[in-house]
C-alpha cells in the first residue's frame, strides 16, 4: 500500500446521529491550501472545504439512491460533483477554485464549469447569477449618435457564459455584441423586447456604474 500523508485521506466516521466527522488535520491542511493557492480568506476557505465534504456525501448518496443516469466521463462526473458543492456553498465556485479542488489545468476547469452550466443551470440559476453579478465590471460605452451602450467585462469564462445565458433567457442576446476571447460584451442601455422597452442592466440585476 502506498504511503499517504495525513491530508491525503480524510477519515470519515458516521456517528449515530448521522453527522460526518472529518480528520481535523486534513481539514486544516485543505483550508491552508485554498488560502495559499487561491487567496481565500480563512472563513471563505473553511466554508468551501466544508461544502466539498458535505457535497461529496450528497453526491455519494445520489449515486447510490438516485434513479437517473450516472455520469460516466471524467468531465461530467466532476461537473455532477461540483453541482453538489455549489448547492452546499450557496454560490458558484470560481474557475481558480476548481483548479485547486481537483488539481487540474485551467482548460480542464473551464470544461467542467461549462459542463455544469449546461447540465444544471436551472437548479443553480441563482448561484450562477450571483457569481456573474459579483464578477461583472460595467463601463459606459457608445455615443448618442450610434447608440448608448454598456460594456460588461468578466474575469472568467464561466461568469461570461452565465451572462450570455441570462441574456439569451431574457431574449436580449441578439441585441448584444459578445467577444468571447476577451470575456467581454456590449449591450444596449435600453432594448426592445416584445414591444416594450427594457433597461438591460436592470434586467441582468446589475447596478449602473457610479
Coil, strand, or helix at residue 35? helix
Chain segment 135-182, per-residue pLDDT in tens:
999 999 999 999 999 999 999 888 898 899 899 989 999 999 999 889
Q: Model pTM?
A: 0.63
Residue 5 DSSP symbol:
-
Look at residue 151 and give its three-state secondary structure: strand
Picking from 89, 120, 151, the residue at the C-terminal end of a domain is 120
Q: Which domain holds residue 158?
A: 132-204
If one counts the domains in the chain, the total is 2
The 10s digit of each residue's pLDDT in 11-68 is 444 443 446 788 999 999 999 999 999 999 998 899 999 999 999 999 999 989 988 8
For residues 178 and 173, give the distance between their C-alpha atoms in angstroms, rounded to a whole number: 9
CB–CB of 141/151 below 8 Å? yes
In a domain, 184, yes or no: yes
Q: Are residues 198 and 116 in the same domain?
A: no
Tens-digit pLDDT profile for residues 101-125: 999 999 999 999 999 988 887 778 8
Q: Is residue 125 part of a domain?
A: no
**CA-based nearest residue to 203, from 173, 161, 181:** 173
Amino acid at each position: 500500500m502506498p504511503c499517504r500523508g495525513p491530508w491525503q485521506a480524510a477519515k470519515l466516521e458516521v456517528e449515530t446521529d448521522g453527522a460526518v466527522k472529518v480528520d481535523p488535520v486534513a481539514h486544516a491542511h485543505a483550508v491552508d491550501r485554498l488560502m495559499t493557492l487561491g487567496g481565500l480568506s480563512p472563513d471563505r476557505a473553511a466554508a468551501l472545504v466544508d461544502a466539498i465534504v458535505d457535497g461529496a456525501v450528497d453526491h455519494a448518496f445520489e449515486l447510490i439512491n438516485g434513479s437517473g443516469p450516472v455520469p460516466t466521463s471524467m468531465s461530467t462526473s466532476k461537473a455532477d460533483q461540483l453541482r453538489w458543492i455549489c448547492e452546499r456553498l450557496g454560490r458558484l465556485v470560481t474557475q481558480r477554485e476548481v483548479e485547486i479542488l481537483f488539481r487540474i489545468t485551467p482548460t480542464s476547469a473551464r470544461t467542467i464549469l461549462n459542463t455544469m452550466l449546461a447540465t444544471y443551470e436551472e437548479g443553480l440559476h441563482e448561484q450562477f447569477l450571483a457569481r456573474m453579478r459579483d464578477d461583472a465590471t460595467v463601463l459606459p460605452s457608445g455615443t448618442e449618435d450610434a447608440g448608448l451602450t454598456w460594456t460588461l467585462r468578466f474575469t472568467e469564462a464561466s461568469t461570461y457564459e452565465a451572462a450570455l445565458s441570462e441574456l439569451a433567457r431574457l431574449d436580449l442576446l441578439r441585441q448584444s455584441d459578445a467577444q468571447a476571447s476577451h470575456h467581454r460584451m456590449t449591450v444596449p442601455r435600453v432594448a426592445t423586447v416584445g414591444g416594450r422597452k427594457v433597461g438591460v442592466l436592470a434586467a441582468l440585476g446589475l447596478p449602473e456604474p457610479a
